[in-house]
Amino acid sequence: MSRAIEIPAADGTIDAHVFTPGNADRPLPAVVLFTDIGGLRPCYHEKAQRIADNGYAVLMPNVYYRDANGPVVPEGKSFRDPDVRPTLLEYAGRLTPEAQSRDFAALLGCIDNEAEFADGKIGVVGYCMTGAFALRMAAEHADRVAAAAGFHSARLAEADDPNSPVHLVGTIEGRVYFGHADKDELLPPEQIARMDEALAAAGVHFTTEFYKGAAHGFTAKDAPSYDAAADALHHKRLSLLLEETL
């Protein structure tokens, strides 16, 4: 069960979707799902509904609302196509830490005001570039975020990036889980180690797991790197994290 929703934000109106189980008869714990760089599309609707079916109200925003409404990748095309990817990179370039922060505030306002969402703490999950978004939201809203997860996350802890979320983890109070693609070119071992070190030094309750043999993008059914076994494990780990925290 899902419905489209429009969320007032500082930079415009976020088009988003709210997913609930078909038998929902009461407000449910909130989970924010950020899509990967490909934006809104069928495989992410399916992913959000699967999370919701475990007993949550899932809010999935269009991270590119400043530039486009709804899906960004044309039907029949892939976010990896050379005639599509430059547009996505351009849109993604506008998602600065400051822009993300404004959007987090809008999403929390939505959760506070829509009937599907229960009071209390929330979970947040991101994929690819938005693994960093989930971590940043957990750091900036430590009083609200009980769980943050990132799968095949990208560029979490680049050494020369002053905007890296690795610098913010000291404020996180919730649990953190990372499911990393094995030998991911977008998140090399030194970045994983740097992030793990920062989380450990901050005393964050975190788990880092390698999905052996899985490539970057292993949860995206419309990507050539999709790995059904790794995707199933991702759902299992995320389900457990949310069950134990929400």
Distance, in Å, from the CA atom of 62 to the CA atom of 66, rounded to the nearest integer, reads 9
Instruction: Identify the band that residue 80 occupies on the pLDDT scale cut at 50, 70 and 90.
Output: confident
Helix axes 131-140, 97-113, angle to 10 degrees: 70
Q: Checking phi first, is residue 12 left (phi over 0); if not, alpha (psi -120 to 50) or beta?
A: left
The helix (H) or strand (E) run that includes residue 147 is strand 145-151
Give all domains of the chain, ordered by start, each with its CATH number: 2-245 (3.40.50.1820)
Q: Over 80: is that where the pLDDT of 79 sits?
A: no
pLDDT, position 78: 79
Instruction: Identify the band that residue 83 occupies on the pLDDT scale cut at 50, 70 and 90.
Output: confident
Distance, in Å, from the CA atom of 120 to the CA atom of 145, rounded to the nearest integer, reads 9
Share of the chain above pLDDT 70, in %: 100
pLDDT, position 234: 98
pLDDT, position 84: 87
| Mean predicted confidence (pLDDT) in 224-237 | 97
pLDDT, position 59: 99
| Mean predicted confidence (pLDDT) in 232-245 | 98
Q: Over 80: is that where the pLDDT of 193 sits?
A: yes
pLDDT, position 202: 97
Task: Return all residues near 226 (Cβ < 8 A) that are at least 6 apart.
Answer: 217, 218, 219, 220
Rounded to 5°, angle at Cα 164 from 135 and 217: 60
Distance, in Å, from the CA atom of 2 to the CA atom of 47, rounded to the nearest integer, reads 12
Residue 222 half-sphere exposure, CB side, CA atoms within 13 Å? 22
Distance, in Å, from the CA atom of 7 to the CA atom of 5, rounded to the nearest integer, reads 7
Query: b/e string for 46-66 if b means 16 or more Cβ within 10 A?
Result: ebbbebbbbbbbbbbbbbbbb
Q: Over 80: is that where the pLDDT of 183 sits?
A: yes
Share of the chain above pLDDT 90, in %: 91
Q: Rounded to two decimals, what is the model's pTM?
A: 0.97
pLDDT, position 186: 95
Instruction: Identify the band that residue 150 occupies on the pLDDT scale cut at 50, 70 and 90.
Output: very high
Helix axes 42-52, 228-245, angle to 10 degrees: 40
Distance, in Å, from the CA atom of 233 to the CA atom of 179, rounded to the nearest integer, reads 9
Mean pLDDT of the chain: 96
